[in-house]
Each structure stands twice: as structure tokens, then as C-alpha cells.
């Protein structure tokens, strides 16, 4: 996709609600930042700056693109493709800051502007991509590409730009282009509506508790945090629990009150489907239908076929095979796991059948029985600052020679966000990094990496990237203690960050994580391995009060427990991935109306053999933000697809000396620095020296075929 686009002048100006525009000289978004790495001047940026910056940014790019397209000179690589890569600098700067802040620290004003901008920016992009003059120039260069003498990255830019234009509708007739513009505008608006509905409902859907004894099982710090949240919401003397964006909720593993567990779980699963202002059923139905219609207009049978053409998987059939091959074994494992927990319930005289809201609680009981530890024992050894400094950063120091320097002088957009300067192995400044750890009402759920500044040799820019998590902030004076899953997430997101930080490409089109969706998770998932690598684990896992290391016996148990309940984890993931494919493999006329959304979901899971009640999908349709509001539509399978590469790469590391600088430098040279400048699978083969194998993934998830007992 081109990094920016062209907008017709007939559209009305962008306005920031309830704000007057400041003079251009006072708007920090209208010129490159003078801070190190062109780091955004968050302390000077105000909500009212964005509308002006978007308006001016689009106007600037209109002029830049028009100059390219109206030039009398014959098209060349420099005056067309390179010029397009250089265009839209102000717009790109405004977009990166605005949309990153809208997700990390939004408010009513930014959300209103986001809704207004969605169709505007879609139209802006379409006006470039659908301009026949642009396609004529790129098509001519594409036809002559063998004679242009381009270096490999430049040739790839030409080929990908040509493919992007074709996939964007450049060959359609004018009436078809008009319909495509309307589809893109409405799709963009619906995606924004979906995102905002999910966030607003999470903030509004507190689970209230009136009796302290009902919170039995939570730690004193967790109970205090729930009381503080209730006070902040105007109900002192009560307790409030905030829902995360996944189906499962962390409190379910600890709470002894079964009725409260059920209430939390049912509230989680009902999100987006209860009617009222947050209901997403209409949005889902309309969005799926419009995506399918757009795909048909572009010559594809459905949205999944269109989306996957540009991924390493290539076809829905390949994705369907992967999901179908793993599904039966995953569910069989989950049923065995459920039977083991039912045995615990029966032994204790519970008198009930295991339900979804019981699984995390009895899973922890079984974990304690099998491995003689529970999460509560681990958390005192997983203090966030030490995990970051002596775990995540330590691994990067040993593997790549990096040095991390806190930069409290660099401004941040929220008081708990922290900024760092990263020095390369030769001591030269490499990039800037932000860490945004804590959950808050202004922040969307989940964990993610984003880029504030993309690296590009053409533009002379170095990377500024951020990692965002949603860890509950402790009460004042208490340490931030992580679950082990949160530790792994911290490593995972930093793997994404390294993909952006190490980028060393010429063109912004290929910078950092601008790779196929089903490859982008590979660097992040492979970095997870260092969370449990003995040398790294022992370095960061120390008691937050005494400094004592995690007991050696407990280290062994943590590693041994790695396959624990993989049936559950794989089944909940596969259920969501299958739902994604089902929604996006529909023709327009096959998409159910709003009243049929949940019935369609149930039928899909039943046909796939994934309708196992104790294991709900990781995301249900009405709050499945990955596929209805971000770039993972028809792409949620990517985590599993990338895990094939990840598991295979872990085997390579183990066979080649493991945690060494030479191995880190190899990964950086062959994959992390290359971004999207070469075919993703070729980059993997360059690193691995061979094609990936499926066996390591099956072993990791406990999905290898079981030998039949002798008869």
C-alpha cells in the first residue's frame, strides 16, 4: 500500500470539535520534530492541532501528487515511485501520532475526530490509487522493469506498487471506481465505530461487588485496586472489576466464589450483543457484507481470497487446511484436560459440571497439584521493572549488543509512559523506544507495538516505536507484579519493537513491520523464547523484596508447565481463527443480518468441531477487534502460521548454540533489518538455511499424534 494518498479538493475541511485552530506557527505537527530521532513533541501537541495538520497534510500531498502526475517528462523510477515515497510527509506525521494516541490515550474529542477522519482518509487514498494517470505511469515502468537496471529493493518497490494499484481497483471502469470509493469510505467508518464501541463498552462494563468476602482468592493488592476503582467510579465501599478485551478474564483463576466467576464470564461474552449504544451486531453484519461486495467488485469470490493473495499463505484453502488439521487434536486434548479438572471437582464434592467460568480456577488447582506451584507463587519474583531491565533489555543486550538509556527529558503523553534511547553495538544512537505499561479508560485493550517514526534511508529517518500493554496499575506504594503470561507478552511485544528498531531499508514502504500479516508475528513470537531461557529467566526472576532468585525447583516447574493446558489454549485460538475465516469467506448474499450473527457464529463452531462449551473462542464476533477494526481481517490465523516458523526457529537456536551474539546478529541481518524489502519466506530461508518444519509446533502444543496402546 502506498504510504499516503491524494484527496479531491471538494471535500470539506477537517475540524476538531469544540476547538479553534491555533496559528500554524504554533502547531508542532506541521514541521519535523527537532527532538532526537524526530521524536514527537508530546508536551506541545494538543487535540486542536490534529484537524489542522490533517487538512494541511492532505493539501500538501494533493500538490505533490499532482506535480508527479502532470509532469510532461516520461515516467522514471525516480520521478514517479521515489517521488511518491517522499510525498505526504506532514500527513504521515499527523497520522502516526494521532492514531497511535487515539488507541493509547484517546478521549471524546479524538474519538469524534477519528470518526470524521475515517471516510476522509479512505477517500484521500482512493483518489491516488484510482487515478488513471498514476496507474499509466507505474504500469509503463512495470512493463519495462527488466531494462531499468534497478537494485533488488527498488525492483520490489516497483512490483509491489504495481500490485497494490491493481488490487486497489486501478483497472476498474469509472462507474466501478465510484462504487469502490463509496465502499471504502463506509468500511472505514464502520471499522472506527466497531473499535469505539468495544472500548466504550469495556470502560462501561464494570463488574460490581458489594461484599468483600466475594473477592476471596484475590491478593490484598488486587482487592485494594478494585476498591480504588470503585471509589473513582463514585461508589466508595464497593469493589469494581474491569473487563479485558479477551473472552477469558484473569480474575477467574483466583476467585473462589463461583457465582461471581459466572457473572464475570457472562458479562464478558455478552459484550457487543446486548442492544443499546455499544451493540456491534449491525456493524458486524454490514461490515462483512461490504467487504465481500468490495472483493467481488475487485474480481475475487470473497474477502478472504482478496486478503490472503498478498500473504504468505496465499489462499483460503491453505489456511483452512492448517486450521482443520490442528482442530481435532486440540479439542481432544481440551476434553482430556476438562476431564482431569472434573475429577478434581467431583473429588471435592462440588456437585456441578465444569463450565467455562470454572476452567481457569480449576486449571490453577490442577497446575498446583501437577507442578506444585501456582501463579501466586511466581508473581513476587516478576516485578515489572526488573523483568524489563534484567529480562527484556538484558536479552537484547546479549543477543544484539544494544544499550538502553532512560530519557526522562523526552516528553510523554501520559505520566506513566517511559522513553528510552537505544544505542547500537558500536555505541551510536539507533532508535527511540516508548513503554506504555498500564491499563486506563483512555486506552484500548490488548497489547501492541506501533511506530511513531518509520526508519528510511531515503528520508533519513530513524525509528521511534512504542510497546503498549494493559497491566493493572497497583495502588500507590505497591510494586507492579506480573503474571507469567504478562511477562511473555512483554517479551513478545518487544520482539515486534526490534523488527521496527532494526529496520535498515531504503523506502518507507518496506520499513520495519510492513510485512505480510502472517509473517509479522514471527519476530515477536521467536523473542518469547528468551522469557524462559534459563540464563535470562534466572537474571530477571528475583523476589521484589529480598532479591532472592526464583528457586531452582520452581524454575524447572515453570518450564515443565509450558505445555500445560495447551488443548485449551489451542482450541480457544482456533475457534477465533475459524470464525474469522468463516466471516470473510462469505459471498455478499450469504452474510447474515444482525439478528443472525450469533446463530452464524454457533453454526460455524459446530461444523468445525470447536463448539466445546468449557472453551469459548478467545474472541467472540461482537468484540473481535482484530478482524473487524484492525488489519487482521481474514488474518487471525497469522499467529499460528507464524508460530510454525517460530517453533522451527527455536529448534535452530537450540541446535546452534542458543543465546549467543552470533545467533542474534544472524537473525538481525537476515530478517529483522530487512522489513518488507524481500519475500518474507525467502528471508526466513536465509535465516534458517532450510524450509520450516511443522513438527516443532506440534511438539510445543502437545498435538503430535498419540500412539495407540497395544492390544
To the query of whether residue 493 is one of the catalytic residues in this protein, the response is yes
Asked if 149 contacts 86 with a C-beta cutoff of 8 angstroms, the reply is: no
Query: Does residue 335 sit within a domain?
Result: no
Residue by residue, DSSP assigns 504-571 as --SSGGG-TT-S-HHHHHHHHHHHTHHHH-HHHHHHH-B-TTT-PBPPHHHHHHHHHGGGTTHHHHHH
404 and 538 inside one domain: yes
140 and 238 inside one domain: no
Show which of 250, 269, 288 is a domain's final residue. 269
From the candidates 55, 201, 421, 493, give the one annotated as an active-site residue.
493
Question: Is residue 689 packed enough to be buried (19+ CB in 10 Å), middle (13-18) or exposed (0-12)?
Answer: exposed
81 and 221 inside one domain: no
Instruction: Give the pLDDT of residue 226.
Output: 95
Instruction: Give the pLDDT of residue 302.
Output: 98
210 and 162 inside one domain: no
3-state secondary structure 562-583: HHCCHHHHHHHHHHHHHHHHHH
Cell 528510552 belongs to which residue? 420
Query: Does residue 190 sit within a domain?
Result: no
257 and 151 inside one domain: no
Domain that holds residue 258: 205-269
Task: Report, as ranges of residue numbers, the positions in the chain whose pLDDT lies below 70.
Answer: 1-25, 705-711
Query: Does residue 347 sit within a domain?
Result: no
Show which of 269, 287, 307 is a domain's final residue. 269
160 and 256 inside one domain: no
Number of domains in the chain: 3
d(CA 279, CA 275) in angstroms, rounded, equals 5
Query: Does residue 441 sit within a domain?
Result: yes
Residue by residue, DSSP assigns 372-393 as S--HHHHGGG-BHHHHIIIIIH
Query: Does residue 671 sit within a domain?
Result: no
389 and 526 inside one domain: yes
Instruction: Give the pLDDT of residue 142.
Output: 98
Q: Can you read off the three cell numbers belonging to residue 511?
A: 520499513
Cβ atoms within 10 A of the Cβ of 562, count?
10
Would residue 272 be called left, alpha or beta, if left means φ above 0 and alpha means ψ between -120 and 50 degrees? left
Instruction: Give the pLDDT of residue 704.
Output: 72
Asked if 87 contacts 68 with a C-beta cutoff of 8 angstroms, the reply is: yes
Cell 459446530 belongs to which residue? 606
87 and 217 inside one domain: no
265 and 138 inside one domain: no
Q: Could you tell me the CATH number of the domain that includes residue 493?
A: 1.10.1370.40
Query: Does residue 687 sit within a domain?
Result: no
Amino acid at each position: 500500500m502506498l504510504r499516503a494518498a491524494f484527496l479531491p479538493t471538494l471535500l470539506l475541511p477537517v475540524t476538531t470539535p469544540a476547538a479553534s485552530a491555533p496559528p500554524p506557527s504554533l502547531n508542532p505537527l506541521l514541521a519535523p520534530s527537532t527532538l532526537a530521532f524526530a521524536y514527537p513533541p508530546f508536551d506541545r501537541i494538543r487535540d486542536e492541532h490534529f484537524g489542522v495538520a490533517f487538512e494541511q497534510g492532505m493539501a500538501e500531498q494533493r500538490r505533490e501528487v499532482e506535480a508527479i502526475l502532470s509532469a510532461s517528462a516520461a515516467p522514471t523510477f525516480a520521478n514517479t515511485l521515489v517521488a511518491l515515497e517522499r510525498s505526504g510527509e506532514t500527513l504521515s506525521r499527523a497520522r502516526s501520532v494521532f492514531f497511535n494516541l487515539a488507541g493509547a490515550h484517546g478521549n471524546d474529542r479524538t474519538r469524534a475526530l477519528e470518526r470524521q477522519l475515517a471516510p476522509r482518509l479512505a477517500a484521500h487514498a482512493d483518489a491516488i490509487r484510482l487515478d488513471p494517470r498514476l496507474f499509466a505511469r507505474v504500469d509503463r515502468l512495470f512493463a519495462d522493469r527488466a531494462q531499468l537496471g534497478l537494485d533488488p529493493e527498488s525492483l520490489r518497490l516497483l512490483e509491489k506498487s504495481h500490485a497494490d494499484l491493481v488490487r486497489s481497483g486501478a483497472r476498474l471502469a469509472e462507474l466501478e471506481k465510484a462504487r469502490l470509493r463509496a465502499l471504502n469510505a463506509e468500511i472505514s467508518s464502520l471499522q472506527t465505530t466497531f473499535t469505539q464501541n468495544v472500548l466504550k463498552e469495556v470502560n462501561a462494563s464494570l463488574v460490581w461487588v458489594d461484599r468483600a468476602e466475594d473477592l476471596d482468592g484475590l491478593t490484598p493488592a488486587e482487592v485494594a485496586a478494585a476498591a480504588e476503582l470503585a471509589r473513582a467510579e463514585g461508589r466508595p465501599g464497593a469493589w469494581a472489576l474491569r473487563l479485558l478485551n479477551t473472552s477469558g478474564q484473569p480474575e477467574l483463576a483466583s476467585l473462589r466464589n463461583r457465582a461471581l466467576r459466572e457473572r464475570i464470564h457472562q458479562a464478558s461474552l455478552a459484550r457487543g450483543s446486548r442492544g443499546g449504544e455499544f451493540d456491534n451486531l449491525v456493524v458486524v453484519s454490514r461490515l462483512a457484507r461490504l467487504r465481500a461486495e468490495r472483493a467481488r467488485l475487485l474480481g475475487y469470490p470473497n474477502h478472504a481470497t482478496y486478503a490472503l493473495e498478498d500473504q504468505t499463505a496465499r489462499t483460503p484453502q491453505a489456511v483452512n487446511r492448517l486450521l482443520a488439521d490442528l482442530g481435532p487434536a486440540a479439542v481432544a486434548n481440551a476434553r482430556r484436560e476438562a476431564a482431569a479438572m472434573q475429577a478434581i471437582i467431583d473429588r471435592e464434592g462440588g456437585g456441578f459440571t465444569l463450565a467455562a467460568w470454572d476452567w481457569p480456577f480449576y486449571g490453577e488447582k490442577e497446575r498446583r497439584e501437577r507442578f506444585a506451584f501456582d501463579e501466586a507463587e511466581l508473581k513476587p519474583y516478576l516485578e515489572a521493572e526488573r523483568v524489563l531491565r534484567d529480562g527484556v533489555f538484558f536479552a537484547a543486550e546479549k543477543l544484539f549488543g544494544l544499550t538502553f538509556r532512560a530519557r526522562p527529558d523526552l516528553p510523554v503523553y501520559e505520566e506513566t509512559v517511559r522513553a528510552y534511547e537505544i544505542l547500537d553495538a558500536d555505541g551510536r544512537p539507533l532508535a527511540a523506544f516508548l513503554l506504555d505499561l498500564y491499563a486506563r479508560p483512555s486506552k484500548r485493550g490488548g497489547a501492541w507495538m506501533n511506530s511513531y517514526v518509520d526508519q528510511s534511508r531515503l528520508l533519513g529517518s530513524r525509528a521511534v516505536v512504542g510497546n503498549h500493554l494493559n497491566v493493572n496499575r497497583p495502588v500507590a506504594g505497591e510494586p507492579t507484579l506480573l503474571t507469567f503470561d504478562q511477562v511473555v507478552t512483554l517479551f513478545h511485544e518487544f520482539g515486534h519493537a526490534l523488527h521496527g528498531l532494526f529496520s535498515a531499508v531504503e523506502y518507507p514502504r518496506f520499513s520495519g513491520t510492513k510485512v505480510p500479516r502472517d509473517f509479522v508475528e514471527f519476530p515477536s513470537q521467536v523473542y518469547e523464547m528468551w522469557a524462559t531461557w534459563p540464563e535470562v529467566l534466572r537474571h530477571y526472576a528475583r523476589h521484589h523484596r529480598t532479591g532472592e532468585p526464583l528457586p531452582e525447583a520452581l524454575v524447572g516447574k515453570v518450564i515443565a508447565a509450558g505445555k500445560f493446558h495447551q488443548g485449551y489454549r489451542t482450541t480457544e485460538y482456533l475457534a477465533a481463527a475459524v470464525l474469522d475465516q468463516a466471516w470473510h469467506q462469505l459471498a455478499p448474499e450469504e452474510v447474515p443480518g444482525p439478528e443472525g450473527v450469533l446463530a452464524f457464529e454457533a453454526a460455524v463452531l459446530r461444523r468445525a468441531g470447536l463448539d466445546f462449551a468449557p472453551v469459548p473462542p478467545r474472541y467472540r464476533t461482537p468484540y473481535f477487534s482484530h478482524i473487524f477494526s484492525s488489519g487482521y481481517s481474514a488474518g487471525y490465523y497469522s499467529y499460528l502460521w507464524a508460530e510454525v516458523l517460530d517453533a522451527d526457529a527455536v529448534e535452530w537456536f537450540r541446535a546452534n548454540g542458543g543465546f549467543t551474539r552470533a545467533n542474534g546478529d544472524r537473525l538481525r541481518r537476515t530478517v529483522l533489518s530487512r522489513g518488507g524489502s524481500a519475500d518474507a519466506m525467502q528471508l526466513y530461508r536465509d535465516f534458517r538455511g532450510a524450509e520450516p518444519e511443522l513438527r516443532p509446533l506440534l511438539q510445543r502444543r502437545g498435538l503430535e499424534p498419540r500412539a495407540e496402546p497395544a492390544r
